Amino acid sequence: MTPPAFSPVGLRLENIDKRYGRLLALRGVSLTIAAGECVVFAGRNGSGKTTLLRVVSQLVRPSRGRVTFSGATGDEQTTAVRPGFVAHATMVYDELTAEENLLLFARLQEIAQPEKRVETLLHDVGLSERRGSLVRTFSRGMRQRAAIARALLHEPAVLLLDEPATGLDPQGVTWLAEAIRRLRDSGRTILMSLHGESEISQLGTRAIRLDAGSIAADTRTGATFRSILTFADA
Amino acid sequence: MSLLANTSTLLGKELRTEFRSRELLTTTIVFILIVLVLFSFAFNPTSDESRQFASGLLWLALLFASSLMLQPCFLREQNNDTLSALRLSVSDPFAIFLAKLAANTLFLLLAELLLLPLFAVMYNVPVVPVLHWLLLVFFLASLGISIAGTALSAISAQARMRELLLPLLLLPLLTPILVVSAEVTRSLLDREPFVRWKGIGFIGVFDVVFLTALWLFGEYLLEE
């Protein structure tokens, strides 16, 4: 991976509620995440992991509460921070090539020298040789590489990964774990939702279990960390 | 500047994906063609009859075809959740609407221009002497259809009965523009053609009002 061009950013969630009609998807979630932390969110289906990440990404407006980002000096950067987001869906166009997709999003984000940035990222995620192929011809693993490249276009200091290993074969998971490890080591703050224990979950420096939209457990250490990932009682 | 730059980048994407798949254009052109041919054989109108009701048939066909064309506008952004990627990337979400309505207007105009000669021959109406006026009506009405249709497509794409919802919302909303466009076109195809300025003005006002509403409230239509 190329050297980072960002300042470390932490974030704070204050009393976040998110309501979809009658369903309360998030209930009073309050969290402080330090710059450079790699947080794993675990929990059963419907526990609120995806909603929480979408609230942090600013795609979903919370019904109550707020999300603030802060730099290493603690200065508040409410709107200037734009996290990179890798979701269940790849968020790239099947009808465009990998290069066209990345150039499209680079231009929309007004990235300086978009061609150069895209070239670098295609190389970093190992898609240089397939740059001219339509994404619809890609395997799931290659699509995920394109999705990660798209999320990293603007050198985000905060990276959100929503079940990034879904549908990947063991080799794909290994590649993804290595990519996330390098991103974590570069100083990015990473929030990822996962199901169960895996190579990827071991990269976490903190584990949080969500249950029915609330935080049920939060730890940085040993046995409790593992129990959170496996949904066992902490 | 960033709004214009984002709009032009997104318009380029819309055109590229459409000309690669030709999905919307083919459907629209084939649909209009079938309706025009069926009506022509069913009624076998004389030249005078054509002058009276051919414009109505043309606009009815265009309206139904546009509801087909507008349906996938936001729906296909949901396949890979690309709408979220766009929302995370653009500085002003209005650029997403502007690009989509510009692309829809272009596709509709292209379909109209391709089918106009056929319409003139099948219904025996002289379009050449009033071509510039017809093009003005086509442009303004297509723009109106695209503005309203793009907004409703964004709403219906998030609804449960999305395939049914768009035509249900779109057709009543576009009835005024259909009636006025048909009237203006009929006066242009008359034996002694004349321009209904009030009609053209009405379509222009329709476009401005709906574009302003989209600019003011469009962002909320994209929220989850």
Which whole number is the average pLDDT over B181-193?
Answer: 89
pLDDT of B45 reads 80
CB A32 within 8 A of CB A182: no
Which whole number is the average pLDDT over B67-94?
Answer: 91
pLDDT of B224 reads 72
Which whole number is the average pLDDT over B57-74?
Answer: 89
pLDDT of B1 reads 58
Mean pLDDT split into 10-residue runs, chain A, 234 residues: 68 93 92 93 91 94 91 54 90 95 95 94 92 93 92 92 87 89 92 85 90 90 71 53
State how beta strands A23-33 and A9-20 pair. antiparallel
Give the gap in angstroms from C-alpha A140 to the nearest C-alpha of chain B: 12
Q: Is residue A231 part of a domain?
A: no
**What is the Cα Rg of chain A in Å?**
17
CB A31 within 8 A of CB A214: no
Per domain, the residue ranges of chain B are 2-222
Same domain? A142 vs A168: no
Alpha carbons A166 and A53: distance in angstroms, whole number:
16
Inter-chain residue contact A90 with B224, CB threshold 8 Å: no
pLDDT surpasses 70 at B121: yes
Inter-chain residue contact B85 with A150, CB threshold 8 Å: yes
Please give the model's pTM, rounded to 2 decimal places.
0.88
Alpha carbons B82 and B221: distance in angstroms, whole number:
15
Report for A174-188, B52-66, B198-212: range of highest mean pLDDT: B198-212
CB B86 within 8 A of CB B48: no
Signed CA dihedral, A25, A28, A33, A38: sign only:
negative
Residue A11's DSSP bridge partners are: A33, A69
Residue ranges of B 47-86 with Cβ closer than 8 A to chain A: 79-82, 84-86
As a whole number, the mean pLDDT across chain B is: 90
Number of domains in chain A: 2
Burial class (CB in 10 A: 0-12, 13-18, 19+), B91: middle
If we measure between CA atoms, which residue out of B67, B35, B211, B24 comes closest to residue B153? B67
Domain boundary among A104, A129, A155: A155
pLDDT of B193 reads 78
CB A11 within 8 A of CB A160: no
Inter-chain residue contact B9 with A93, CB threshold 8 Å: no
Domain boundary among A155, A179, A207: A155
Torsion of CA A108, A114, A120, A123, to 10 degrees: 60
Outline where chain A has alpha helix (H). Answer: 49-57, 98-108, 114-124, 140-152, 170-185, 222-229
Inter-chain residue contact A96 with B10, CB threshold 8 Å: no
CB B144 within 8 A of CB B203: yes
pLDDT surpasses 60 at B49: yes
Same domain? A172 vs A191: yes
Q: Is residue A232 part of a domain?
A: no
Inter-chain residue contact B10 with A110, CB threshold 8 Å: no
Domain boundary among A107, A136, A155: A155
Say whether residue B4 is in contact with chain A using an 8 A CB cutoff. no
Say whether residue A209 is in contact with chain B using an 8 A CB cutoff. no
CATH code where residue A204 lies: 3.40.50.300
Given strand A23-33, what is the order of strands in its sheet? A23-33, A9-20, A64-71
Q: Residue A42 belongs to what domain range?
A: 1-83+158-225
State how far Cα A167 lies from the chain centre: 16
Q: Which residue of B has its CA nearest to A63?
A: B224
Instruction: Provide the number of CB pairs (under 8 Å) joining chain A to chain B.
Output: 61
Which whole number is the average pLDDT over B126-131?
Answer: 90
| Residue A15 structure tokens | 């009393």
